[in-house]
């Protein structure tokens, strides 16, 4: 990717658990670690998923130690019979055992807060390898562990994502920050309302961008992410390169760029509403409350989100939103006219500055030749006008709902920008 990629510090991730390798759970820890490592200027060169088997864990860790000096393991630190990671690591690093009084105190406090007695088996968490540094876990019962050998570091973290993230941020991030003189930094630009091919056709050749950065285009059913990557030794030079590349993109496709790095559409819409001291209400049919859920994922959304209605049936649209029955009879519930009436209705009954409404056929049933599965109408109503747009999504039911919610939030964003 870069000429000096070998100068960037590297790590590997090993995910342990039969529930992972069997596909019983969706594994998210490695994604979190890889993303945070990238943000800190590290390269995660390999992610390996293995089951709860002592021989496999030992072999996998040995192979990783032959390649890199920093390894993060997740999973297998609990108190049940299949949680063997701690014992395998103790054997590998030739450790004895000791009882950690602080872990015991934290364990008892946690169960006391829950109003329960500590189960006998849970006290096994207080036994830790005597050569390991204990990473105290405020979010759960299993402490993390750090094993050091020469210049190599092996971090063992719980598999529960909340606990893993807490320990990673508290103990590992400080160790990673500032390691190595040469680093790679990334910036992610999020777009909505345009396909990948249309986006790059509008921008043109990427040569001007690659004078400054390396570019990766990452499409999904919710939009296209553009990852910009720059390398160097000085932060000021790296950020200058990223800024120049972002400016070039915004000159041609800025209309479609809604956020940078962790910014979501619901966050951006909230910022715009707060800047205008205005509020919002939503009426949802085919999305079943997904738009309201996303809006209320943002802390402080109560200052601008008034209410949401899931008016799924025709009767609900008529009774709750005041949509005329003859309008539904004439045009059908999935129509531009009904979407506009829903948006106007929710704005009026709530007293909100803005009303957003969505009605559609999520599928896989319910479609007709005239109104196929995926047909969706979305409307945004403000004091000056009500505007609706037609969409035809073509994926499964869940993705159609997600795409409809994304499109609705993007329409709201664009209307707020227009009004500003």
Whether 162 and 54 map to the same domain: the answer is: yes
For the domain that residue 235 is a member of, what is the CATH number? 3.30.70.2860
Within 8 A by CB and 6+ apart from 104, the residues are 123, 126
Domain carrying residue 246: 183-260
Which pLDDT does position 379 carry in this prediction?
Answer: 98
Query: Which residue stretches of the chain have pLDDT < 50?
Result: none
The two three-digit tokens of residue 285, written as one number: 């049919």
* Region of residue 254 (left: phi > 0; alpha: psi -120 to 50; beta: else): alpha
Phi, psi of 65 (to 5 degrees): -65, -25
Cα–Cα distance, 283 to 281 (Å, whole number): 7
- Determine the pLDDT at residue 315: 98
Contact predicate 48/14, CB 8 Å:
yes
- 87 & 163 share domain: yes
Q: Are strands 183-191 and 223-232 parallel, antiparallel or unpaired?
A: antiparallel
User: Could you say which of 130, 151, 176 is where a domain stops?
Assistant: 176
**Which single residue is written with the structure tokens 């957003």?**
356
| Residue from 131, 145, 156 nearest 57 by CA | 156
pLDDT of residue 41: 80
What local confidence, expressed as pLDDT, does residue 123 receive?
Answer: 94
For 64-75, write each residue's pLDDT tens digit: 999 999 999 999
Specify whether the CB–CB gap between 269 and 282 falls below 8 A.
no
Which of 121, 149, 176 finishes a domain?
176
Number of domains composing the chain = 3
Three-state SS at 107: helix
Instruction: Please tell me the predicted confidence (pLDDT) of residue 408.
Output: 98
Residues 326 and 411 in one domain: yes
CATH number at residue 365: 3.90.950.20
pLDDT for res 181: 65
Last residue of a domain, one of 260, 285, 306: 260
209 and 344 share a domain?
no
d(CA 190, CA 219): 10
The verdict on 17 and 71 lying in the same domain is yes
Quote the tokens at residue 247: 């400016």
């Amino acid at each position: 990717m870069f000429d000096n990629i070998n100068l960037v510090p590297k790590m590997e991730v090993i995910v342990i658990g039969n529930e992972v390798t069997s596909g019983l759970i969706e594994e998210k820890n490695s994604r979190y670690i890889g993303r945070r490592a990238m943000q800190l200027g590290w390269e995660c060169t390999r992610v390996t998923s293995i089951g709860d088997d002592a021989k496999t864990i030992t072999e996998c860790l040995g192979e990783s130690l032959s390649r890199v000096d920093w390894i993060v393991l997740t999973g297998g630190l609990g108190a049940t019979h299949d949680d063997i990671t701690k014992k395998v690591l103790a054997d590998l690093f030739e450790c004895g055992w000791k009882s950690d009084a602080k872990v015991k105190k934290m364990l008892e406090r946690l169960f006391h807060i829950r109003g329960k007695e500590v189960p006998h088996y849970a006290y096994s968490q207080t036994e830790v390898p005597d050569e390991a540094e204990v990473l105290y876990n405020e979010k759960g019962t299993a402490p993390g562990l750090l094993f050091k050998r020469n210049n190599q570091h092996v971090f063992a973290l719980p598999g529960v994502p909340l606990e893993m993230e807490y320990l990673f941020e508290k103990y590992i991030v400080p160790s990673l920050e500032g390691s190595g003189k040469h680093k790679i930094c990334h910036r992610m630009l999020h777009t909505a309302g345009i396909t990948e091919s249309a986006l790059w056709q509008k921008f043109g050749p990427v040569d001007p961008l690659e004078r400054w950065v390396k570019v990766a285009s990452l499409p999904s059913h919710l939009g296209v992410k553009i990852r910009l990557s720059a390398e160097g030794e000085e932060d000021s030079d790296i950020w200058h390169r990223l800024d120049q590349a972002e400016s070039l993109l915004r000159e041609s496709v800025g209309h479609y760029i809604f956020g940078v790095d962790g910014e979501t559409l619901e966050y951006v819409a909230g910022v715009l509403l707060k800047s205008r001291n205005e509020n919002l209400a939503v009426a949802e049919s085919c999305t079943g409350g997904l738009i309201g859920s996303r809006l209320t994922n943002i802390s402080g959304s109560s200052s601008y989100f008034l209410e949401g209605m899931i008016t799924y049936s025709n009767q609900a649209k008529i009774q709750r939103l005041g949509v005329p029955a003859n309008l539904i009879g004439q045009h059908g519930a999935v129509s531009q006219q009904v979407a506009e009436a829903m948006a106007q209705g929710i704005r009026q009954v709530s007293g909100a500055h803005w009303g957003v409404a969505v009605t559609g056929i999520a599928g896989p049933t319910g479609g007709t030749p005239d109104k196929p599965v995926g047909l969706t109408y979305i409307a945004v109503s403000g004091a000056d006008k009500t505007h609706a747009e037609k969409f035809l999504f073509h994926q499964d039911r869940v993705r159609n709902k997600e795409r409809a919610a994304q499109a609705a939030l993007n329409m709201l964003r664009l209307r707020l920008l227009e009004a500003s």
